[in-house]
Structures are given as structure tokens and as C-alpha cells.
Amino acid sequence: MRYAADGQEHRIACRFAGRHFDAGRDEVEHVATDRGDLTELQMVMLRIWAGLGNRWELPDAPERAAAPPPSPWTPVLFFLQQVINAVTVACVYGLLAIGYTLVYGILGQINLAMGELTMIGAMTTAVASAGLVMLGAQGAAPALLAVLLAVMGFTAVQGWTMDRLVFRPFRGMRTHTPLIAAVGLAIAYQEAVRLLHGARDWWPQPVFATRHDLASAGGFTLTALTSQVIVLALTAGLYALLAWVMKRTAFGRAHRACADDVGAAALMGLDVNRTVATTFAIGGAYAAAAGYVIALYYGGINFFTGYLVGFKALAAAVIGGIGSVPGAMLGGALLGMVETFWSAYFAIEYKDIVAFGLLALFLVLRPQGLLGQERRRGD
């Protein structure tokens, strides 16, 4: 059929399901025009508009499967799921808390810019991840390991520079000047990244996101991701490496000596400045590892990522016993568990209040933390 519209001639051809007196003679199956054939969605809209009967209604939704019977194991599986979910959070807090506790252990000062080193590590990981995607190697384990080493190395240099330019000139001062300088340094890092990369969120492509169903009962399935296992293994490996360094190397002995008495360590010939700078570098590297996990597991990173994460990791370090590396991991595990279980069983809006309330409780009842010891530092 041909028709005129807007001063132009058009054509349209319809195919029906039947001919003459067949049952489907009024059922349109296909419509072709000079501007193209109608799609299935357009056909559905045409049939609804024309009121051509039940044949042209949208297909019925599939029947919902019957709900599985309740099981007494469902609450147990839900509890175990929260334990699995808390593992990654605990690893992030633990890795960053190590950075706080190493610096405090040797200087007796808190570096409030440590969270920004985590943000730097996360942003650098996001940039590197985008490069891997363009190269088609986003899921290659060697490439991801190389990114981790590069990010940790880059942020270790940032930590060393932070000590050399900001903390060393104020060393020995019995004032709050180093703390104020750390706050200013944190703001400078945030604004620098905001100006360079913008304020938008970055969402790197997740890796090793394969889901594994472990158990099921009453309609609830206990699951774990490959990435969660890798994050746990990475954190355990980094912790074991640091424990070996602190116990078996010359740096570890120098660190313990400076933590006990800086003046006596200097009199014994130890290079205090080099030991402190190395401590800042190692702390920065572990903070970068936390940022690496945040970027590739959680995503949604921006110039402000390190702010709240940094304060929570500091709370974890205090809860575990600031100055103690095992305490940092224990505090991170405890804080991660509390946050995750509160979000699962209670109102998620209050999880930050609960986290810092736990910190306040420890400061009142056990200021030295779980594994910390009360001691006086030598002058």
C-alpha cells in the first residue's frame, strides 16, 4: 500500500497470519515500511494501540517458583556470610593500621596523612587498571602483581618524601606542630588529586569476581568470591613478610631500638634518620596495598577516599594497641567484624557511629589497646 504524508509518498506492507476466511486473517505478523521494518517492541505497541485482542498482549510473566521450606540452618549460613564479607574490610583496615602503628611505634606521633597515601595507591591502581583494560590484560595475574609492586613502590617513595620534607624538620619538638603539619599535608594531597583527576568517582573493572556457592539452606546461599580469597592471601603474605623483616633483619632491630629509646639508639651508632625514613616508606607501601584492594574490590574511589578509611584504620590501630603490628591486624579484624555485623543485623546508617563508639570505649577502659603495653619512651 502507498500513501502520501508531508508531501512525500511512502509505502507500507503488512503480512497477516491467515488469508480470506482463515482464523488468523486479522492477526498482523509483520510490518515493512520504506523506512525499515518494525521491531518486536514496535509491533507490540502497534498491537496494543490497535486493540487487536489477547494475541497482542505482552507475554505473561513466568510463574514464580515456590519458596523453599524454612530451614534452621539459614541463620547460621547468614552469620557465616557476614564473616566472609568482613574479611575484606578487615584486611583493608589492618594493612592501613600497620602504616599508622609503624610510625607511631618509632616516633610516638600519629601521621594523619597516612589515609591519603591509601588514596594515592587506590587512584594509581585505577589508572594502571585502565591501562591494563586497553591492553586486554586486566585479568592477567602477572600484570596485576606488577601493578601492586609498582603502586607500593611509588607510595613508599611518597612516604619517604613525607618524612624527609615534613616530619624530619619537626622531629624532637614537644608541640603539636607535627600533627598540624600532617593535617595540612593530607589536605594538600586531597586537593592535588582533585585538581589533577577531578572529583568524579573512578570504577576500575573488578577482577577475579567468580562467585562460588558454598552451601544453601532455606533459600539462602552462602557464597564467596575468588577475589576475597586472594585479598586474604595477599594480606596474610604481606603481614608474614613484615613480621620476618621486623624480627630477622637489621632494619627490624634498628626499629625496635629506636622505638625503645631514640637517644640511646643514636648513641650506639644507629642512623635514626634512615631508620625513621625507611619506616615511613614501609608504612606508605602497606597503605598503598590497602588502596589497591579498595580500588579493585570495591571501586568508587575519589580524592576523598582516604579520609574516612584513614580514621577508621587509625581507630583499628588504637583498638589493637598502637605500636604493635599484630595489634594493628587484630584491631582491623575486630573493627571490620563489628561494622559488617552491625550493617547486616541493624540499621546500616549507624555503623560509623558504632565504629567510633568502640574506639571511645577502648580509650576509656583500655587505652593501651588489646595487645599494646603501657611504657615510657626514652628521651
For the cut 60, the answer to whether the pLDDT of residue 304 exceeds it is yes
Assign 208 to helix, strand or coil: coil
**Among the ranges given (66-70, 140-144, 206-210, 351-355), the one the predictor scored with the smallest mean pLDDT:** 66-70
Percent of the chain past pLDDT 70, that is, above it, reads 88
Say which residues have a Cβ less than 8 Å from residue 57's Cβ, sequence separation at least 6: 47, 48
The confidence score (pLDDT) of residue 54 equals: 46
Please tell me the distance from the alpha carbon of residue 358 to that of residue 336, in angstroms, as a whole number.
12
Confidence grade of residue 159 (pLDDT, cut at 50, 70, 90): very high
* Per-residue pLDDT tens over the stretch 85-128: 999 999 999 999 999 999 999 988 899 999 999 999 999 999 99
* Per-residue pLDDT tens over the stretch 236-265: 999 999 999 999 999 999 999 998 888 888
The confidence score (pLDDT) of residue 139 equals: 82
Are residues 247 and 277 both part of a single domain?
A: yes
Other Cβ atoms within 10 Å of 285 Cβ, number: 27
In a domain, 215, yes or no: yes
Please tell me the distance from the alpha carbon of residue 7 to that of residue 262, in angstroms, as a whole number.
93
Burial 91-107 (b: 16+ CB within 10 A, else e): bbbbbbbbbbbbbbbbb
The confidence score (pLDDT) of residue 125 equals: 96
In a domain, 163, yes or no: yes
The confidence score (pLDDT) of residue 213 equals: 92
Are residues 14 and 85 both part of a single domain?
A: no
Q: What is the CA radius of gyration of the chain?
A: 30
- The DSSP call for residue 295 is I
Total domains in the chain come to: 2
At 164, which CATH number?
A: 1.10.3470
Contact 114, 99 (CB under 8 A): yes
In a domain, 221, yes or no: yes
- The DSSP call for residue 202 is B
Confidence grade of residue 67 (pLDDT, cut at 50, 70, 90): low
For the cut 80, the answer to whether the pLDDT of residue 379 exceeds it is no
Q: Which domain holds residue 321?
A: 74-365
Instruction: Give pTM, 2 decimals.
Output: 0.80
- Categorise residue 219: left if φ over 0, alpha if ψ from -120 to 50, beta otherwise: left
Average pLDDT over residues 159-163: 94
Terminal CA-CA length for the chain:
100
Please tell me the distance from the alpha carbon of residue 342 to that of residue 85, in angstroms, as a whole number.
12
Are residues 27 and 117 both part of a single domain?
A: no
* Per-residue pLDDT tens over the stretch 265-295: 888 888 999 999 999 999 999 999 999 999 9
Contact 163, 280 (CB under 8 A): yes
351: nearest Cα among 111, 114, 85: 85
Are residues 50 and 87 both part of a single domain?
A: no
Are residues 35 and 129 both part of a single domain?
A: no
In a domain, 295, yes or no: yes
Are residues 86 and 41 both part of a single domain?
A: no
pLDDT: which is higher, 139 or 10:
139
Are residues 279 and 186 both part of a single domain?
A: yes
The confidence score (pLDDT) of residue 51 equals: 60
Distance of alpha carbon 258 from its chain centroid, rounded? 34
The grid coordinates of residue 140 equal: 592477567
For the cut 50, the answer to whether the pLDDT of residue 162 exceeds it is yes
Measured in degrees and rounded to the nearest 5, phi and psi for residue 269 equal 95, 5
The grid coordinates of residue 115 equal: 589515609
* Per-residue pLDDT tens over the stretch 1-56: 666 666 677 777 777 765 544 555 567 777 777 777 777 767 777 776 666 544 44
For the cut 90, the answer to whether the pLDDT of residue 219 exceeds it is no
In a domain, 63, yes or no: no
For the cut 50, the answer to whether the pLDDT of residue 378 exceeds it is no
Confidence grade of residue 177 (pLDDT, cut at 50, 70, 90): confident
* DSSP per position, 114-182: HHHHHHHHHHHHHHHHHHHHHHT-TT-HHHHHHHHHHHHHHHHHHHHHHIIIIIGGGTT--SSHHHHHH
Are residues 23 and 137 both part of a single domain?
A: no
In a domain, 377, yes or no: no
Q: Round the average pLDDT of the chain to a whole number and report it.
A: 87
The confidence score (pLDDT) of residue 309 equals: 95
For the cut 70, the answer to whether the pLDDT of residue 66 exceeds it is no
- The DSSP call for residue 352 is H
For the cut 80, the answer to whether the pLDDT of residue 161 exceeds it is yes
For the cut 70, the answer to whether the pLDDT of residue 202 exceeds it is yes
**Among the ranges given (1-10, 94-103, 181-190, 191-200), the one the predictor scored with the smallest mean pLDDT:** 1-10
In a domain, 148, yes or no: yes
Please tell me the distance from the alpha carbon of residue 374 to that of residue 368, in angstroms, as a whole number.
6
Are residues 34 and 94 both part of a single domain?
A: no
Are residues 129 and 49 both part of a single domain?
A: no
**Angle at which helices 74-107 and 325-345 pack, to 10 degrees?**
140
In a domain, 5, yes or no: no
* Burial of residue 376 (number of CB atoms within 10 Å: 0-12, 13-18, 19+): exposed
Are residues 115 and 51 both part of a single domain?
A: no
Are residues 187 and 51 both part of a single domain?
A: no
